[in-house]
Structures are given as C-alpha cells and as structure tokens.
C-alpha cells in the first residue's frame, strides 16, 4: 500500500490541491465545488485509502487535536480510571490524549507541561504534584486551556474538578465515632499534598466536634516512596501506649492495603480489636477479609466533567469564568468497622 498524499490525488485527478483539500474537509459545498468533482475526490480518497498527515495538518491549522494528561502515575487504579474515561470521551470528539506520569516529582511535572506544550496540545488535564504552582500560574498567564483534577491549588484560581476531601474524611471518622470507637488513628502521607491535608483536617474536625482533642501521636505520616517500609513501625506505634487505638483511618487506598497487611502480621483482629476505614479503594476491597468500608470517589464523573470544562475552554474565543467543581464522595459501608 503506497502512501498517497494530497498532491497525488490532485495530479491524478487533474485538479488543484486546494480543491482536494476543501472536499476532504467537508468544505466542498461551502466553496461550491461541483458535485461531480467532489465525488471523484471522495472516491479516489476512499479507494486509495488517503489519510492526512496530522502533523502537517496540525502545523498548518495551528491545532493538534490532542490533549495532554499529566498524572502522578498511570498504574494507580484511580488515575488509570480517569485516563480511561477521558480517552474514551476525547476520542468521540476527535481528540487524542497523550499522557505522562510525574511520579510526584514537581520537576518532572514542569518538564512534562513543557513537553506537552511543545507537542502543541490544545489543552491540559493535570493532577498536579501540588508543588508546582509556578508552572500553573504560567499557564494561566498565557491563558492556556487546562483543568486541574483531583488536586488543585487553593491559593491559585483556576478551573478544577476535585472531591470534597475534608467532608469525605470527616464522614469516615464520624462513622467510626458513631460506632463508639474512641481512639482513632490516622495514617497518611507526609505533608505536601493539599488533598491529604484536607483529609487530615476532616479527621481532626470530626474529633473536635465531639470535644476530643486529636493527639498528634495518633497521626502517622509516611513517605510516598517508602510507606511499605515505614508501615510496620507506624502500626506498632498506633497499637501501643499511649495510643492503643481501636480504629484507624487510612488516607488512601494503598496505605489501607499496606496497613491491613501489617495488622494481620501483628495478629490484630479487624474490626473486633481495630476497625479500619479507607479513603479511596482498590477493586478487590470487597473481597478482603473483612470487606473494607471505604470512601469512594466518583472517578468517572471527574473525567467527564474535566473534559467538558476543558473543551469549553478550548473552544471559547474569549476567556470565560473558571469552573470550580467539588464533587461529593460516597461512604460504602462494608464490614471493616464492625457494628456497635
């Protein structure tokens, strides 16, 4: 199959490249190209399987029909689901998505944004490291279309779609309190992510409402890279004096999985001795023993809404107001918190 170009069609049909291009872009009627010519072009293109070079087209029209997705890690189920959804939706709109992972490194995030811009993406969807306000501001200044997902910069106005982390975490903690748990531990990641901070605040708030002063020793902050190594110590400390927790809130799915492994190793019965609850989940959390009660995020909605907003931005001539969406989480009660 020889590759066929515009000029080949033009030559073989004895017409100009202009005419061919117009017809192929459905601008034949508007430009009053005779039905006859149009048909000839269409037929030729079909039989010779003509396919335009998107690089050339993009360069010429100044648009690439590509959007970029920047996330911490495509192999995290949460982001993979968002990516999957975005890709499906975007394809329907004629857009391709290119993705890249930051591995939580702000430097990489900065590079990736640049790389994507170089590739002339028309818009960006970013789950930021939240340590890169600089570049986000830059994008804003250039009026470049982008929407933040999962994580945004509270001090820096922009389009975003996130989840109410504070509330989700508060509700989770209250669930434990309602079940008469008093000593509630909180296992999370080292500060740096506003998302995690909000979850911590939600936990604190729930306790304070009941006049329980949340002791700092009840909060364990692990390193994103080394959480598996640090988990045993964290769990051990939570289990012993002065903590001796009767329940633990884990601030994200992989911490829950890791924490549960340790609880098992210490032969702690869940939920009898220690109840656990997870912010966010993995696909087998309902099969785990006990099935894990979790705060669920509306992943698909996040993808849908983010793309909607982005497309609006891309297609808007003038700058339009920011869309700020904060979605609710859902508490799925299984068995890891027991009953009263």
Partner DNA sequence: CTGAAAGCGCTTACAG
CB of 138 to a copy of itself, least distance (A): 7
Kindly tell me which of 62 and 94 has the beta carbon lying closer to DNA.
62
Beta bridge partners of 86: none
Residue of 39, 59, 137, 326 that binds DNA (CB under 7 A): 59
Binders of a copy of itself among 106-125, rule CB under 8 A?
Answer: 114-115, 117-120
Q: Does 31 bind DNA (CB under 7 A)?
A: yes
Smallest CA-to-CA distance from 130 within 84, 168, 167, 162 is with 162
Question: What angle do helix axes 6-13 and 35-47 make, rounded to 10 degrees?
Answer: 130
CA distance 91 to 86: 8
Residue of 1, 2, 26, 62 that binds DNA (CB under 7 A): 62
Quick note: the x/- pattern for DNA over 36-55, rule CB under 7 A, is xx--------------xx--
Tell me which of a copy of itself, DNA, none is bound by residue 24, counting a contact when its beta carbon lies within the kind-specific cut-off of 5 to 8 angstroms: DNA
Identify whether 76 is preceded by a cis peptide bond (ω within 30 of 0). Answer: no
Q: According to the 3-state scheme, what is the secondary structure of 29-89?
A: CCCCCCHHHHHHHHHHHHHCCCCCCHHHHHHHHCCCCEEEEEECCCCCHHHHHHHHHHHHH
- Residue 43 to residues 32, 47, 307, Cα–Cα distance (Å): 18, 6, 35
CA distance 133 to 141: 12
Residue of 88, 164, 237, 273 that binds a copy of itself (CB under 8 A): 88
Tell me which of a copy of itself, DNA, none is bound by residue 81, counting a contact when its beta carbon lies within the kind-specific cut-off of 5 to 8 angstroms: a copy of itself
- Residue 305 to residues 65, 151, 315, 323, Cα–Cα distance (Å): 19, 14, 15, 10
Residue of 11, 25, 208, 223 that binds DNA (CB under 7 A): 25
Residue of 238, 288, 305, 311 that binds a copy of itself (CB under 8 A): 288
Span interacting with DNA, options 34-42, 133-141, 272-280, 300-308, rule CB under 7 A: 34-42
Residue of 2, 14, 47, 211 that binds DNA (CB under 7 A): 14
Q: Say how many C-beta atoms besides its own lie within 10 A of residue 173's C-beta.
A: 26
Beta bridge partners of 161: 149, 325
CB of 261 to DNA, least distance (A): 50
Span interacting with a copy of itself, options 14-22, 36-44, 48-56, 176-184, rule CB under 8 A: 48-56
Q: Does 137 bind a copy of itself (CB under 8 A)?
A: no
- Tell me which residues touch DNA (CB under 7 A): 5-7, 14-19, 21-22, 24-25, 27, 31-34, 36-37, 52-53, 56-57, 59-62
């Amino acid at each position: 199959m020889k590759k066929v170009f515009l000029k080949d069609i033009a030559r073989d049909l004895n017409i100009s490249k202009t005419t061919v291009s117009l017809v192929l872009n459905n601008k034949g009627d508007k430009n009053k190209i005779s039905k006859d010519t149009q048909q000839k072009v269409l037929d030729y293109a079909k039989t010779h399987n003509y396919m335009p070079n998107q690089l050339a087209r993009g360069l010429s029209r100044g648009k690439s029909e590509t959007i970029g997705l920047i996330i911490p890690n495509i192999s995290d189920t949460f982001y993979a689901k968002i990516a999957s959804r975005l890709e499906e939706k975007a394809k329907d709109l004629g857009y391709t998505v290119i993705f890249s992972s930051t591995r939580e490194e702000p430097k990489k995030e900065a590079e990736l944004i640049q790389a994507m811009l170089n590739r002339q993406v028309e818009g960006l969807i970013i789950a930021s490291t939240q340590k890169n306000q600089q570049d986000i501001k830059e994008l804003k200044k250039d009026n470049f279309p982008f929407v933040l997902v999962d994580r945004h910069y509270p001090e820096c106005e922009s389009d975003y779609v996130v989840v109410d982390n504070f509330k989700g975490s508060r509700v989770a903690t209250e669930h434990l309190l309602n079940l008469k748990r008093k000593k509630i531990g909180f296992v999370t990641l080292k500060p740096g992510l506003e998302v995690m901070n909000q979850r911590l605040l939600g936990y604190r708030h729930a306790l304070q409402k009941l006049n329980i002063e949340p002791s700092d020793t009840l909060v364990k902050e692990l390193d994103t890279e080394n959480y598996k190594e640090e988990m045993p110590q964290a769990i051990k400390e939570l289990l012993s004096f002065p903590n001796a927790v009767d329940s633990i809130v884990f601030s994200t799915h992989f911490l829950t999985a890791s924490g549960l492994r340790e609880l098992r190793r210490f032969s702690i019965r869940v939920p009898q001795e220690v109840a656990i609850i997870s912010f966010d989940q993995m696909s087998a959390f309902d099969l785990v023993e006990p099935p894990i009660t979790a705060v669920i995020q509306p992943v698909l909605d996040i993808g849908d809404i983010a793309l909607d907003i982005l497309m609006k931005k891309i297609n808007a001539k003038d700058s339009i107001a920011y869309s700020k969406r904060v979605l609710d989480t859902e508490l799925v009660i299984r068995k890891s918190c027991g009953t009263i």
